[in-house]
Amino acid sequence: MFQFIYSQLIRLVLPFILIRLWWQGRKAPALRRDWQHRLGWVPEISGPVIWVHAVSVGETIAAGPLVRRLLARNLGATILMTAMTDTGLAQARKMFGDRVTYAYAPYDTPGAIRRFLDRINPRILVILETEIWPNMIRQCRRRRVPVFLINARLSERSARGYERVKGLAAPIMKSITWVAAQADRDADRFRRIGVAASHVEVTGSVKFDVDIPDDVRAASSALREELGARPVWIAGSTHSGEDQQLLDAHQRILQQHPEALLIIVPRHPDRFDSVAELAEKEGFSVARRSTGDDPAETQIYLGDTMGELMMLYGASDIAFVGGSLIERGGHNPLEPAAWGIPVFSGPHVFNFETIYEHLLTDGAVQVIDGADALAMALSKLMTDKEECRAYGVRALSVVQKNRGALDKVVEGIIERL
């Protein structure tokens, strides 16, 4: 009954979702491209298929090392990567080119999922983190397609939410073949909401197994040469409500370090123009990466391209990870940590609580709240090069000593194929 009611509700709101997609496509034409995928009409794929679903950019980056390992195993299967967002698919294409196949994930109506599965006939479904869609999971299990929830995390708030709709959630959870949880608390919460205890295993976070391809390292080094010896800090994956605070912090930093550069990278492309306008309104000189502007003399360098955040982290001395000064839950701090640079964050990091615990325990991240505190801490590290280097060493050390989850996940997938 709960599944039926859910499916009917999804069907009712679907026309409004499609209208919203068309409206957003005015500014982001990529959203309208291949829109039929979202209703299940994707090109047919022959032969065995490993379906890897990552909702957006962050999850796609996290899936990168896993997909590379699966490709290296020569399993004789097509790897299909899906995402819900155009930015997620753009990131995937940048990472893998023609080595894998791509599609938008279908909306979670019974018909869309059925058409999608008929056309791709997957051998397994690998879902990154906690992207739980009832019809997707139930229909896969009906077709005896194993469903793996990889790098799985579940906050206490989300667990309580699932408990409130236990009639819907419990049958879905029982349909999941394997949950590879990031931490013990995540595993306990998944068991609490209905996943069979024998189907849950703590493997750690695959995000610690971040790898930096050689071409990204080369591009980063080239950009750093352009920037010169000036102090460079980056604010990655910023959201509305944070940019003003970051610009205020940079204004204060420039009083002590007038040659400093802020690279700011908004999380969503539709905010590129508004962030550039805000910075110019505040009196900063702004260069945009998308137009090939020279960043050598500017005060703000806007990272308004897709799929280059990892490279831009590598060209910086210090990183602030966005989505954390507002109640968004933060983004992945391990991407800058893997470059061996100091990592800063705001206080709202509930999406990465386990990772931040590791970093905080080893003194590898500084959590600040507001422009004044951020400016003071950054200025101190820009002055004290040795302390800046030590922070970066600690950050990289946390990444290195927590690697290994990816090996467990890959072996777990192979064993269950």
Give the chain's radius of gyration (CA, Å): 22
Burial bucket for residue 333 (CB in 10 Å: 0-12, 13-18, 19+) = buried
| Three-point CA angle 42, 148, 105, nearest 5° | 25
Q: CA distances (Å), 266 to each of 171, 234, 250, 263, 308, in order?
A: 38, 11, 16, 10, 12
Answer yes or no: are the C-beta atoms of 319 and 341 closer than 8 Å. Answer: yes
Region at 230 (left for phi over 0; alpha for psi -120 to 50; beta for the rest): beta
Of 44, 59, 280, 386, which is the active-site residue? 59
d(CA 90, CA 112): 23
Matching residue, tokens 């123009």: 273
Answer yes or no: are the C-beta atoms of 312 and 336 closer than 8 Å. Answer: no
d(CA 209, CA 170): 32
Residue 270 neighbours by CB under 8 Å, 6+ apart: 24, 27, 28
**Residue-wise over 390-401: b if at least 16 C-beta within 10 A, else e?**
ebbebbbebbee
d(CA 137, CA 321): 32
Sheet order of strands, 232-238 included: 286-288, 300-302, 261-266, 232-238, 318-321, 343-345, 365-367
Longest dimension (CA), the chain: 64
Is 129 considered catalytic here? no
d(CA 63, CA 362): 26
DSSP conformational letter for 14 = H
d(CA 136, CA 174): 13
- End-to-end Cα separation, the chain, in angstroms: 32
The sign one gets for the Cα dihedral 249, 251, 255, 258 is positive
Structure token pair of residue 31:
């959203």
Q: Catalytic residue numbers?
A: 59
